[in-house]
Structure 1
Amino acid sequence: MLNPIWLKTFAAVAACHSFTEAARQLGLTQSSVSDHVRRLEEAVGRRLFVRDTHSLAITPDGEAMLAHAGAILQAIHRAQAQFRAPRLRGRVRLGSSDDIALGPLPTVLAAFRNAHPDVELEITIGMTGRLYELLDAGAIDLMVGKRRLGDRRGTALFTGRLEWLARTGTMVDLEQPLPLLLVAEPSVTRAVVLDALAQTDFRWQLVCTSSSHSGCVAAARGGLGITVRPQYLAARGLAPPLNVASLPLLPDVEFIALAAKRLSRPAQTLLELLHESDLRGAWVGE
C-alpha cells in the first residue's frame, strides 16, 4: 500500500535533489526522510533513487513513481478540501422551461445533488414568460429558459435556431394557411414565431394552443399541423416538413440563466454549475 506520507516525502526529495533539504522543508529529521523513501521502495520493489555520498539521481522507476505520486497527492488534496468545507444546506427554488427540463436539465440536477445531498430542490416547470413573473415576485430563486424579446437580463447559456417540425413525412400545403401548433401566452417562442411570420406574406392559422411544448409535440405527432422548437431540443417522432425550405426562415433564440438579486449559497452554487455546464449538449428531448 502506498502511504501518502511516503509519497509526499519522496516527491519533496525529488524536487530538492537532496535528502537534507527535503527534511528541512518538511520539518522532519533526515533519518525520517530516508526511512520514508526506503519503505516506499520496499513497497513497490523498485529503486527510486541512485545515491552516493556526493550525488542523488532519480531512476526511471522513480520518474514513473513521481508522476503517480503527483496525481495521488492532488486527489487527496481535492478530497480533503471538499470535506473540510461546510456542507451546503437549505433549499433552492429553480424554475425551468419545459423544453430544457425535458432535455439537459436532469444531468445538471444529478451533478448538483451528488455534490450537495443536503440541499432541497424545489423545481417549477412552466412557460418562460411565467417564470419571469415568478422570479420578479420572489417565488423562485433562479430560472433557466429563453430570453424575452428585447430583454437583456440574464446570462446566455446557448443559442438555438428555431425550426419547423411536423409528423415525419409531412408535406405542408402552401396554398392553405400554415396550421400552427403553438404554446399559449406568455411564451417567448410563440412571440418570436408570430413576429417572424408577420414579416412575411404567409397566411397562418392557430390550429392548436397548448400550455406546454409537450402538448404541441403530441398534436404534431397526431398530424394536426406544424410546431416549432429549437434545433437542439428536437423531439423524437417529429421531423422538418419535406418542403421546409419553402417555409419562412425562423430566427435564433437565446437560452439564459437568470437569478434573483440576492441568492443563498446553495442557489448561487447551482447557478455557477448551470453556467459551467454545456446545456446544449448532444441529446434529444422528449
Structure 2
Amino acid sequence: MTATLDIDLVRTFHAVARIGKFNAAAQLLHKSPAAVSVHIQRLEAVAGGRLFNRDNQAVSLTTLGKRLLLATTELLRTHDRVLADLQGTRLAGRITLGVPDEYADHVIRDILPTFASAWPNVVLELKTAPSYALRDLVQRDKLQAAVVTQPKGEPDAQAQVLVSTTPVWVGPAQTAIASMEPLPLAVHAAQCPYRQAMIESLRQRGRKTRIVLESPSNQAVKACVEAGLAISLIDRARVTPSMRILDDLPAIADHEVVFVRSQASYADEAVDLLGRALQQHFRL
C-alpha cells in the first residue's frame, strides 16, 4: 500500500521541531508525551529514518528531519488554508491584536496574510507595544488579544503557549565588554520580564551596572549591543552575527511567548481561529 503523510503527524512533528522538547510540544498540542512520541515514531516509519537527535535536555533535527521540515511547511499552511476556506468563508468580525515589535515582522509576514485570505470578512487591526503594556490593554478590554512574553510557568490558565524561549546574554562580537565595571546595559522598558530578569540576576551576583539605553524597542536594544555600547538579554533564536553569547553571566530561566485575550473575546469565533493560527505557525 502506498504510504501517505497524516497531517496530524506532520503537525506534531512541526511542534516538536519548533519547541525542541517533547513535553513542551505535548502541552502545546494538548496531548500526552506518550502520544507525541507515538506520532513521531509513526512519521519516522513513513519517512524511513530518525527525524530527531535526542538527549535529556532537548531534541534537534537530523538531516532527514530538516528535509522533512522544509518540505512540509508549505503543505501544513496549505492544508489549514484550504480547510478554513471550506469551513467558514462566511465568518465576519473585527479583531484588535497586539504584538511586541520583536515578533511583529514574523506575525505580519508569515501568519496574518494566510489568516486574512482564509477569512476575508474578518478585519484585523494591529498595535505594537511592549508585552506588559499589551497585557494591560487586554485586561482592560482595549485589545481583544495579544502576543506577549512572560516567565515560563507563570500561572495563567487561559493563556495559549505559542513557543518557549531561552534568553541569553549577548554582547558585541568583537569587544570584550562583559568584564567592564560598572557593566553597561541596554534594557527594555520598565516591567518588561527580560529587564526584570537582567537587573535581579546581576544584583544577586553583586555586579555594578549602568544603563546605557532604556527603550521599548527591541531593535534599538539590538543596535546598541551590535554597536559595542552595552550588553543585553535577548532570545537565543534572535542572536545576530554581530553579537556573541556571554556564557559567564547568570543563567536566566526560560520564558514563554503566549496568546492572551480579553474576557469579552471568549465568545468570539474569529479570535478562536486567530489563536489557533498563531499556535500552529508561530516560530522564533
Q: Quick one: which of 119, 122, 125 aligns to 1:122?
A: 125
SS at match of 2:120: coil
Deviation at 1:159, TM superposition (A): 1.2
2:169 equivalent in structure 1: 164
Deviations 1:96-130 (A, max 9, x none): 11111134553111221121122211111110000
CA distance in 1, matches of 2:87, 2:269: 16
The residue correspondences of 1:218-229 to structure 2 (distance < 5 A) are 218-229=223-234
| One-letter identity of the residue aligned with 1:267 | V
Cα pair 1:163 1:240 within 8 Å, conserved = no
Number of equivalenced pairs? 201
2:217 equivalent in structure 1: 212
| One-letter identity of the residue aligned with 2:129 | G
Cα pair 1:165 1:238 within 8 Å, conserved = no
Larger radius of gyration: 1
CA distance in 1, matches of 2:257, 2:230: 26
CA distance in 1, matches of 2:83, 2:231: 54
| One-letter identity of the residue aligned with 2:270 | P
| One-letter identity of the residue aligned with 2:217 | S
Deviations 1:48-105 (A, max 9, x none): xxxxxxxxxxxxxxxxxxxxxxxxxxx9xx9698446452222111111111113455
Deviation at 1:138, TM superposition (A): 0.5
SS at match of 1:114: helix
The residue correspondences of 1:1-286 to structure 2 (distance < 5 A) are 82-83=85-86, 85-147=88-150, 151-153=154-156, 154-234=159-239, 236-240=240-244, 244-263=246-265, 264-280=268-284
Cα pair 1:166 1:225 within 8 Å, conserved = yes
> 5+ residue gaps in structure 1?
1-74, 281-286
Q: 1:175 to 1:147 in 2, by over 3 A?
A: closer
CA distance in 1, matches of 2:166, 2:278: 21
Q: CA RMSD in A?
A: 2.5
Deviation at 1:150, TM superposition (A): 7.5
Deviation at 1:277, TM superposition (A): 2.1
Deviation at 1:199, TM superposition (A): 2.2
Deviation at 1:270, TM superposition (A): 0.4
CA distance in 2, matches of 1:84, 1:238: 46
Cα pair 2:150 2:256 within 8 Å, conserved = yes
Cα pair 1:230 1:253 within 8 Å, conserved = no
Q: Percent identity?
A: 22
> 5+ residue gaps in structure 2?
1-77
CA distance in 1, matches of 2:229, 2:83: 58
Cα pair 2:85 2:118 within 8 Å, conserved = no
SS at match of 2:247: helix
Q: 1:175 to 1:265 in 2, by over 3 A?
A: closer
Cα pair 1:103 1:233 within 8 Å, conserved = no
Q: 1:81 to 1:200 in 2, by over 3 A?
A: closer
Q: TM-score, normalised by structure 2?
A: 0.64
Stretches (4+) displaced over 4 A? 78-81
Deviation at 1:175, TM superposition (A): 4.6
| One-letter identity of the residue aligned with 1:197 | L
Q: 1:200 to 1:128 in 2, by over 3 A?
A: same
Deviation at 1:222, TM superposition (A): 2.2
SS at match of 2:116: helix
Q: 1:262 to 1:220 in 2, by over 3 A?
A: same
SS at match of 1:112: helix
Q: 1:227 to 1:87 in 2, by over 3 A?
A: same
Q: 1:159 to 1:148 in 2, by over 3 A?
A: closer
